[in-house]
């Protein structure tokens, strides 16, 4: 098996994901990742977002400021720590994430429909397994790449 096939697939799908996110008002890849995490996890600190995304906290801070300016997120003082803030998804940010996910789900479904019927279930199983492997290896992989 060629290692490049998976990377090529990931790059191609990521390009579609980024284009879709931009069309729905989440300009940078980091903004889409942050918004998706906020939808799943609720209000969190910028430090937590940095840890969850693996992005440098300065990049997260810039993204939060841009997202706040475009009303995708809301910030408020952290009641547990007066020195920090909590970031939460706004209603328009939540709607953007839902719209993006709906578009990407339709796109993924269309991709699978392009396969022979007998290949769809195995492809789905393989992709789910690869996603689980990536998620399990993410912390170690990040450390290995530094």
Which residue matches tokens 């990407």? 104
Domains of the chain by residue range: 1-90, 117-146
Task: Return d(Cα 45, Cα 128) in angstroms, integer.
Answer: 30
Tens digit of pLDDT at every position of the chain (146 positions): 567 888 898 899 989 999 999 999 887 778 999 999 999 999 999 999 999 888 899 999 999 999 999 999 999 999 999 899 999 999 999 999 999 999 999 999 999 899 999 999 999 999 999 989 988 886 555 555 44
pTM (2 d.p.) = 0.81
| CATH domain 1-90 topology | Arc Repressor Mutant, subunit A (1.10.10)
Q: DSSP secondary-structure letter at 1? A: -
């Amino acid at each position: 098996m060629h290692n490049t096939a998976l990377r090529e697939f990931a790059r191609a799908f990521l390009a579609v994901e980024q284009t879709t996110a931009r069309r729905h008002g989440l300009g940078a890849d980091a903004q889409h990742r942050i918004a998706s995490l906020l939808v799943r996890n609720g209000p969190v600190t910028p430090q937590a977002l940095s840890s969850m995304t693996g992005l440098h906290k300065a990049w997260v801070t810039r993204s939060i400021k841009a997202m706040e300016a475009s009303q995708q997120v809301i910030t408020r003082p952290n009641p547990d720590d007066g020195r920090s803030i909590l970031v939460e998804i706004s209603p328009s940010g939540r709607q953007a994430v839902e719209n993006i996910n709906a578009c990407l789900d339709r796109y993924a479904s269309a991709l699978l429909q392009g396969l022979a019927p007998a290949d769809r279930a195995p492809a789905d199983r393989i992709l789910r397994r690869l996603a689980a492997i990536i998620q399990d290896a993410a912390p170690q992989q990040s450390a290995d790449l530094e």
